[in-house]
Structure 1
Amino acid sequence: MAPKAKKQKEVVQDERFQAIVLTDSFETRFMPLTSEKPRCLLPLANVPLIEYTLEFLANADVNEVYLICSSHGEKVQQYIEKSKWAANTSPFKVHTILSLESRSVGDAMRDLDNRGLITGDFLLISGDVVTNIDFNKVKKFHKAKKQEDKEHIVTMVLSQASPIHRTRSQIDPSTFILDRKTDRCIYYQQIPPVDGEKSSINIDPELLEDVEDEMVVRNDLIDCHVDICSPHVPQIFQENFDYQLLRNDFVKGVLTSDLLKKTIYAYISDSSEYAARVESWTTYDAISQDILARWCYPLVPDSNFLEGNSYGYEFNNIYKEDKVILAQSSKVKSSTAIGSNSSVGDGSIITKSVIGRNCKIGKNVRIYNSYVWDDAIIEDNCVLDHSIVAGSAKISADSTLQPGVVVGYRVVVGRGKVIPAFTRIVESPIVKPDEFERESSFESEDEDEGEATGHDNEQKHSKQIPSVNVKDNSLIGEDGVGVIYFSGDENDGESDSEGDIPEPSSGILYQIKSLNISDDSIASVSTARSKKKSRSGASKRRLSSTSAVSTEYEGGAFSEDEDDFVKEAVATLDRAIENNHDLDTALLELNTLRMSINVSYHEVRKATSYALVARIGHFVATGTLDVKAAFEKVFQKWCLLFKRQVFDDEDKVDLLQLLQSECASLDVAYGGKVFFMIVNFLYNQDIVEEENIYTWWDSKESSASDKLLAVRELTAKLVEWLRDAEEESDDEE
């Protein structure tokens, strides 16, 4: 009996079905709210968005779920650890993977491939999907196609809807060309709306040679990024490092490749099923209203699938939790949800809106098609029209929020103020990085904008576009708290595509249309500041005052604002060296720290240089090792950290300067020798190049003091040898 049981166990293990959830959208369309929370934890009808995705997976017979987290990854991890999904009663095992360096879907897939987690076909899904489709039908379709076609690697789940359906993205409308008989996808292309012009697609006739019956062009499909993938998918991303986007790069690349010869099929869901993705303010409002109107059943408030919820359903799609206090003369109209411990004062009217928990709505307040999150306060005689008020914010008495206003966490709008349409207010200044480019929006395919393809190495994106944060007392009042937030894009709020979105009679989705396209970056807002800003002394911390970065750093003399990061980073590296951690773990910890405190890579290099040189000095000073042995013990492994900290020539020169300053703080008897070995090793490892060494050597900074001159004396021989070798090579040519 024992061997039989063992065999059965092995079969079950082989047949497990895994799901990969991308919790980061790699976009900034929900700024400034996503500067504090990841999109997947923002409330949708008073339920964190990730819960809808996980609830779908619970009904999809998934055995293992891996959450790939980048932006605010630690917050996602903390949330999952406290949720029902981490309990023994969970229908699947859930694991959070901190992929903090990922800047696109392509990066996440390559990281996934490196970790070797995939055991077979898996479900790939975005963490902002709301759907009630019968996934068993999708799996049957996928298996059938795989038996028919051995080259089949992806089944895309698409939902039929009209081109102007409100849950369909107006930002990146897509066209699929399918084989009518087999549903094989022949071609894919995003088609951005163009004013007054008809869009068109160009397709290579060779792609049509294998069409069995006839092809059909479909621009009436909602793509919510639910796919069944074979293990080949991460491998293809790994082999094609320029693939960053799931559809525009991977799908389009596979379909047009002469070498891959792989096929992709489309599963069109039943018209009675619901599937959409919360990818913009437009779809946030549309899906919220669909949930309230019960189009997503059983994903409705009174299902109470989130632990602790206690919604009851009333006529006209009204949902109220326990302990809601409504004044006798107040009116709650259709399609409205109110969370527990919230109160509504006399004469107030709420319609087509969602009110969170512990909210206080005063007297004679008017709330139309708006979303008020937990712990917010709306005082007497206020008007909210197609607006969003984030958690713990306060709208003082007699104030009005015009359509499209977004009020951030803990913001206070002063008494009697009228906030103009489309204004975004955040509690404290935010700097939005522009280190990375767009993902799933048609801007990424706009040839006039340079054909951006997502994250293309940070050295190409060192330009900082600062968000404009303006304290305007005339707007928010003397008693107000907050600053006006702009994305920093010169076209912010003036996108040419704004007028392309249709204007139905209601819905925040069209009132906030200008916010959907103005945020042009896909970068997670917690990423580092630009290197150029840091070195110019204009460095800023998120939610902090400005701080200067010294260009004459010596002996560990960090500026006050850098001190917290440096202490933590050095302690992290000391632990890693002491316990002989692997390099990837150390890099992960450093990047987590870098993004949590929001410092530049210049400061990361500075802390790393300090830690490594100080460790060499410790070994030599204590007599544990001689200079050469100490250098080899520390640098042969750990200097490879610098490969992930330098991205262009300016970075490499900066690294040499930092290491020179650190070695100058060592004992004069061996500091120069250590520095010589460091420069030679960095050169042999291709971390720095001849031109970088020459630039550093000729700079004023490298000879700014007697200590710096002394420590580079031995290295002069290396520089001389490099120049002689270069001259001899030129002569031979």
Structure 2
Amino acid sequence: MAQKKGGSRVSEDTEERHILQAILLADSFAQKFRPITLERPKVLLPLVNIPMIDYSLAWLESAGVEEVFVFCCAHSKQVITYLENSQWFNIPKFNVTTIESHDSVSAGDALRLIYDRNVIRGDFVLISGDTVSNMSLTQALLEHKERRKKDSNAVMTMVVKKSKPSSLTHQTRLGNDELFMAIDPNTQQLLYYEDKADLLKGTLSLDKTLLADNPAVFLHNDKQDCYIDICSPEVLSLFTDNFDYQHLRRHFVKGLLLDDIMGYKIFTHEIHSSYAARVDNFRSYDTISKDIMQRWTYPLVPDVQFSGNCPTKLERQGMYKASDIRQSRSAQIGPFTLVGNGTTIGDHSKISNSVIGEGCTIGSNVTIEGSYIWSNVTIQDGCQIRHSIVCDGVVIKSGAVLEPGVILSFKVIIGEQYVVPAYSKVSLLPQPTKQDSDEELEYADNSSVENQSLSTMLDLPNGEVTSKPSESSEVGVSGVGYIWSVCEGGHEEEWRHSIAPISAEKLIELKNAAQADLDLLTQDAGVLPTSGELKPDSEIANSEDADTEDFRDDSFEKEVEATFLRAVHESVEQDHVILELNSLRLSYNVLFSDCAGAIFYSVMKLATETPFTTNSELYRTTVSVITKWGGLLKHYLQTIDEEIEVIMKFEEICLESIKEFAPLFAQVLHLLYDKDILSEDAIISWASEKEGADESDKIFLKQSETFIQWLKEAPEEDD
């Protein structure tokens, strides 16, 4: 462990002069990435070819943090060795210190040990080493410090972001369970937190005192916990005083919310245009990888050097290629794909929406779609790989097929023509015969792997640990590896946490189950829930349209954008684009209005790709783009309600994602009317609905007053 110079605690009047510190937990204390994490720590797994921990450290350094304590437990030697050989130990005004433990089995244990070291001297940022963000900490820190001055019990600020869950799966686009938060809308104080709600009963139970003691309470199921916390030093002492605090959310946050004696408070800070997410499971690994490829995380993107990586070159359609690759002329690399240094791609192979690592050999007639191929992988001729993760050193022999959701751990060999079943996990290490507790603790040095003889394990130069099973028919002729069986109760996690898209059959099954639950609930029609129970937002809406809208995932919008950009760059005919978009709409089970909103966003984003320096230049480009693609948008606007949805989508775009359009709102609205994309009735109806809104929600209505007044008076003048 790298030691730090000691120092005494200073008085509160000098607290403002403290450097900003952070605690980074380099151990997930979970098994969600097994079998991979039996051999390598999660924070060193590649995320778009860069170790996860580099994203976390790069963000902390850019956000003004000057001292980071990296807590290492499982595979601690690998993490420490990596950091010592990286650039992070040599950056001015950014001090990285490792703290090693061999017996901590939870985040609570880690924070108690850090408290004992007496290294935290003021407010600090708490994250895990699998966090990706580009947010600024300035405003969140300012809010936290201002609250602390007024109320010393305000010990934590949690960063949250809007994210709608699916009404069918009750999970977010990151694969996490639907999260319910009760927040005071005036102070942003967190009053209730539940990420394991029992939704079968159709209700949530809230303490009556929560409603009685607070003049206003907003219950949200549309917030994403970013797992970025700004903490006061008291947080560490609270963990030390309460040894039953193990899990950060399940124990600490819920414990403080229920403790009405000490009076400690937690607040939230919501981000809008910035990015923040944590790689918690394989589905979030896939989602965040796509977000990085689509540049939502800028400047932490593949073509920008930020961690000693070798930047790739960004080409059209979101393709990234390293300088040293060998690609056959007949090979096709599709949109949003990255190919790393030293990789060879054979004749007639097709790769799309995938990340290929360094030093890979890909044969001829290979199909790779939506997958992550790490470094030094060999894929022989005729293989098909869809929505899978393939770790370093794997060999996939000729004609083999990986069905969606497959995980191949390090150095596995798949035999010729063998079809690896969907959701299979294959490893050179046999599956542990005993599972740990529900905390899914992953102990250091693989001590939780039972019945694994040390004589069958080999320490490799890079710190990995592998075994030497004999050739096994489990993975085909000449294949080597163990197929892990699904543990009891694990079938649910297969599709929920997999990188594979949820199948149409599963969606139908979930829809039927949801309808059955609804029928059961309505048998007792007229019976009100008991006092203190509030129904989730989706049931308050109580309409089929609202249910479908809740199910819509951000990934649908990204898929539409990718399809649209390909159509633009490859000059695809509009009729063919409509066929592709209809296929997407059916597979995601969304409405025409969702399609229209996603297309409108894609069109507006395309307009910003042409460089501009003034609003006039941006407007001229927008006129050109809408003139060309307005017919595609109009195809999905079959009712006034759908047109109103597009106007509301435009408001959202101006406020959050493409703020450059904010001063042009009224002009673009007029343009959409002139091009017969939006009707007079839709625009006037939108304006009427806005009349009763808060002043803060009437920004664009006021900007459009002249145009709307003209619309209202024009018919009279015509008469």
Instruction: Give the TM-score normalised by the residue count of structure 1.
Output: 0.61
- Structure 2: distance between partners of 1:397 and 1:463: 33
Amino acid at match of 2:25: L
Task: Give the C-alpha shift of residue 131 in structure 1.
Answer: 1.0
Structure-2 separation of matches of 1:140 and 1:338: 41
Deviation of residue 485 (structure 1)? 2.0
**Residue 186 of structure 2 is aligned to residue 181 of structure 1:** yes
Q: Identify the match of residue 49 of structure 1 among 45, 49, 52.
A: 52
The answer on whether the counterparts of 2:343 and 2:361 sit within 8 Å (CA) in structure 1 is yes
Match of 2:580 in 1: none
In 2, the alpha carbon distance for the partners of 1:299 and 1:28 equals 27
Q: Cα 1:455–1:78, aligned 2, differ >3 Å: closer, same or farther?
A: closer
TM-fit CA distance, 1:245: 1.0
Q: Aligned pair 1:71/2:69, yes or no?
A: no
The corresponding residue for 2:475 is: 476
Q: Which amino acid aligns with 1:92?
A: F
Instruction: Give the 3 Å change call, closer, same or farther, for CA 319–198 of structure 1 in structure 2.
Output: farther
User: Displacement of 1:474 after TM fit?
Assistant: 4.0
Q: Within 5 A, what are the aligned runs for 1:119-130?
A: 119-130=121-132
The C-alpha deviation readout for 1:253-284, integer Å capped at 9, x for no partner, is 111112221111000112x1111110000100
Cα deviation 1:683-727 (Å, max 9, x = unaligned): xxxxxxxxxxxxxxxxxxxxxxxxxxxxxxxxxxxxxxxxxxxxx
2:332 aligned partner, one-letter code = K
Q: Percent identity?
A: 37
Amino acid at match of 1:481: V
**Distance of 2:105 and 2:475 partners within structure 1:** 35
Aligned residue in 2 for 1:230: 232
Match of 2:489 in 1: 491
Query: Letter of the aligned partner of 2:481 in structure 1?
Result: G
Show CA shifts across 1:436-495 (max 9, x none): 4416xxxxxxxxxxxxxx899xxxx9997999x9988444223111111236x3333x23
Residue in structure 1 matched with residue 638 of structure 2 by the alignment:
none
Q: 1:145 Cα shift?
A: 1.9
Partner Cα distance (2:182, 2:368) in 1: 44
1:177–1:309 CA distance, 2 compared to 1 (3 A): same
User: 1:463 & 1:389 partners in 2: Cα distance?
Assistant: 22
How far 1:11 sits from its partner (Å)? 6.0
CA-to-partner distance for each residue in 1:107-143, whole Å, 9 max, x for gaps? 1111111111111111000111111111112111212
The question of whether the paired residues in 2 share the 8 Å contact of 1:471 and 1:483 is answered with: no
Tell me, yes or no, if the aligned pair for 1:286 and 1:509 is still in contact at 8 Å. no
1:365-376 superposed matches below 5 A: 365-376=366-377
- Give the 3 Å change call, closer, same or farther, for CA 103–432 of structure 1 in structure 2: farther
The answer on 1:80 being equivalent to 2:83 is yes
Question: What secondary structure sits across from 2:205 in the alignment?
Answer: coil
Distance 1:512 1:276 in 2: 27
Give 3-state SS (helix, strand or coil) of 2:317's partner.
coil
Farther off after superposition, 369-378 or 255-264: 255-264
Counterpart code for 2:415: G
Match of 1:154 among 144, 156, 172: 156
Greater Rg over alpha carbons, structure:
1
Residue of structure 2 in register with 1:334 after alignment? 335
Change in Cα spacing, 1:224 to 1:323, as seen in structure 2 (3 Å) is same
Instruction: Confirm or deny: 8 A CA contact 1:404 1:512 kept in the other structure.
Output: no
Do the aligned residues in 2 keep the contact of 1:84 with 1:90 (CA within 8 Å)?
A: no
> In the TM superposition, what is the alpha-carbon distance from 1:169 to its structure 2 partner?
4.2
The answer to whether residue 30 in structure 2 is matched with residue 37 in structure 1 is no
Deviation for aligned residue 1:311: 0.5
Closer, same or farther: CA 227–421 of 1 in aligned 2, 3 Å = same
* Stretch of structure 1 that moved more, 409-418 or 202-211: 202-211
Which runs of 5 or more residues in structure 1 are unaligned? 1-6, 440-453, 515-733
Q: 1:176-255, aligned counterparts within 5 Å? A: 176-192=181-197, 194=199, 197-211=200-214, 213-255=215-257
Map 1:413-424 → 2, pairs under 5 A: 413-424=414-425
How does 1:47-446 map onto structure 2 within 5 Å?
A: 47-87=50-90, 89-164=91-166, 168-192=173-197, 194=199, 197-211=200-214, 213-270=215-272, 272-431=273-432, 434-438=435-439
SS at match of 1:302: coil
Letter in 1 for 2:82: Y
Which 5+ residue runs of structure 2 have no aligned equivalent?
1-9, 454-467, 507-719
How far residue 168 of structure 1 moved from its aligned partner, in angstroms, is 4.2
Distance 1:57 1:320, change over 3 A: same
Structure 1 residue 310, shift from structure 2 partner: 2.8
SS in 2 for 1:316: helix
2:506 counterpart of 1:508: no
Contact 2:104–2:110 (CA<8 Å) still a contact in 1?
yes
Separation in 1, partners of 2:382, 2:211: 63
Give the number of equivalent residue pairs: 476
Q: Is the 8 A contact 1:366 1:382 kept in 2?
A: yes
Change (3 A) 1:315 1:339: same
Partner SS state of residue 303, structure 2: helix
The SS at the match of 2:410 is coil
Give the whole-Å Cα distance in 1 for the aligned partners of 2:328 and 2:450.
Answer: 51
Counterpart secondary structure, 1:301: coil
How far is 1:238 from its partner?
1.0
| Secondary structure at the counterpart of residue 142 of structure 1 | helix
Shift of 1:430: 4.5
Maintained 8 Å contact 1:470/1:485: no
Paired residues of 1:64 and 1:93 also in contact (CA < 8 A): yes
Q: Any conservation in 2 of the 1:405–1:420 contact (CA below 8 Å)?
A: yes
Q: Partners in 1 of 2:505 and 2:73 — Cα distance?
A: 27
Q: 1: CA distance between counterparts of 2:15 and 2:255?
A: 35
Q: Within 1, Cα distance between the matches of 2:448 and 2:390?
A: 34
Q: 8 Å contact 1:435–1:464 — kept in the other structure? A: no
Instruction: Please state whether the residue corresponding to 2:165 is helix, strand or coil.
Output: coil
Give deviations 1:630-649, integer Å, cap 9, x for gaps: xxxxxxxxxxxxxxxxxxxx
3-state DSSP of counterpart to 1:266? strand
| Counterpart residue identity of residue 232, structure 2 | S
Aligned residues of 1:281 and 1:512 also touching (Cα < 8 A): no
SS of the residue corresponding to residue 425 of structure 1 reads strand
2:474–2:482 contact (8 Å) kept in structure 1: no
Report the alpha carbon displacement of residue 298 of structure 1 after superposing the two structures with TM.
1.5
Q: Which residue of structure 2 aligns with residue 682 of structure 1?
A: none
Q: What is the CA-CA distance between 1:502 and the residue it aligns to?
A: 11
Query: Offset at 1:220?
Result: 1.0
Q: Residue type matched to 1:349 in 2?
A: K
